[in-house]
Amino acid sequence: MSGHERLYRALLHAYPAEYREVYAEPMIQLLRDRVRDECGGVRSFSMWGHLGWDLVRTALSERTETTMASFKTGWWRYSAGFIALAMAFLGIGNGTTDDGGPLYGRVLGAVGASLAALVIVAGLTVRRRNPRRGSMMIAFGVLPGVGLLVFFWFPPVGAIGVLAMFTAIAAFNDASRQRRVRSEPEPGTG
């Protein structure tokens, strides 16, 4: 492997992993061809100038596209994280305030909200290994937030409830999509 190729392989890490899996080898082969045909003296600088400009332009474009696609389809995971934080704060606040009601009610509210937050966080963690199971955990963890919308309708909590409702729907849809993806036969096997 030449120095040109080692350098170019290192620079290809500017591209997203999915892009590299598909295009890295053809790009390296193109580099080999260009080095064979164009390298030597000043032409090496010209070739690397063109390669560098192309790499910066296309890698930035691919990274932007990947990030935007992730945000468009994964907005609900960020929302679930926010809801987990809100549920934890509401649970802690519910357990520490004395509203004149029975202590067991405050304790149950604090435990319930904290458990819901833990289920959401666990679902976000599990989702990396098992997308369907993680999405289901997130959806069920977010459902108490929907309960906040129903039982405690005042603007701040109502906003969390509305967000929780949309997040739960998106998480259930993702779990359903993951199930369909897993049950579809591999191309060429069925």
With tokens 């468009």, the residue in question is 72
The residue-averaged pLDDT of 162-185 equals 74
Q: What percent of the chain has pLDDT over 90?
A: 2
177-189 per-position pLDDT tens digit:
777 666 655 555 5
Greatest C-alpha distance within the chain: 84
For 69-100, write each residue's pLDDT tens digit.
Answer: 665 667 777 788 888 877 777 766 665 666 66
Query: What is the per-residue pLDDT for 25?
Result: 92
Average pLDDT over residues 54-63: 84
For residue 171, which amino acid is it?
A
Q: Are 135 and 171 in contact (CB under 8 A)?
A: yes
On the question of pLDDT at 148 being above 80, the answer is no
The answer to whether residues 27 and 7 touch, using CB atoms and an 8 Å cutoff, is no
DSSP 59: H
- Who wins on pLDDT, 183 or 121? 121
Rounded distance between C-alpha atoms, residue 183 and residue 177, angstroms: 10
Per-residue model confidence as pLDDT tens digits over 26-49: 999 988 888 888 776 777 778 888
